[in-house]
Chains A and B, each alone.
Chain A
């Protein structure tokens, strides 16, 4: 099976702009989660989507939003970018089995200048 793919891999944006990141989960996986990784805060959970519905949400401002499509692909949007949004954004997919392992993509490195 192909792994989780994320596009683009690298992105440079200016403060105040918005950005959309894309994630394609492993075939058959219906849950997609997003995480932000920064040197200071580590890996932090943003939100999780299942069957096109947001099921879990982390402690991030409303500028961070997402959605999931019927084919389980997901997008994450950040509006009004701030310098502090510079981070590695990771997407992870999983099944609905009894285990909770999530499989991560390579991430999108966002730099805000």
Chain B
């Protein structure tokens, strides 16, 4: 049972435009959500997170939006840069203090010059 889903395996975006990566979840007990970026031959790198008590969190070019009623979150990257090309994972944490992350399958983002 896939509790965190990223339905788009890949996404291609022109440099300078907005990249929007989507993630859906089914478990209403999740209370913290994170995005990770992964380059080949490296471990995932933490990007940005959001608590379930917020609906938006911004960090530079990266913004995460959370819609709890729809159980949906998205990551916006503006403007997209070639170095953003990577696999992006959405992850969710069930209950306070739990270190167990549930990951989506990942979306491969390609930024075209």
Which residues does A use to contact B, with CB under 8 Å? Answer: 4, 31, 33, 35, 42-45, 48, 50, 55-56, 58, 90, 92, 94, 96, 99-107
Total count of chain B residues near the partner, CB < 8 A: 23
CA distance A55 to B97 in the complex (A): 11
Take A92-B43, A105-B43 as given contacts and tell me if A42 and B105 are in contact as well, using a CB distance cutoff of 8 Å: yes
Q: Apart from A100-B49, A100-B101, A106-B41, what are 13 other A-B pairs with CB-CB below 8 Å? A: A43-B106, A45-B100, A45-B102, A48-B100, A55-B99, A92-B43, A96-B97, A101-B46, A101-B49, A103-B46, A104-B36, A105-B43, A106-B42
- Chain A residues lying within 8 Å of B100, measured Cβ to Cβ, are 33, 45, 48, 56, 58
The total number of A-B Cβ pairs within 8 Å is 60
Which residues does B use to contact A, with CB under 8 Å? Answer: 32, 34, 36, 41-46, 49, 89, 91, 93, 97-106
Q: Is the CB of B89 within 8 A of A43?
A: yes
- Chain B residues lying within 8 Å of A58, measured Cβ to Cβ, are 100
Take A92-B43, A100-B32 as given contacts and tell me if A56 and B98 are in contact as well, using a CB distance cutoff of 8 Å: yes
- Chain A residues lying within 8 Å of B34, measured Cβ to Cβ, are 100-101
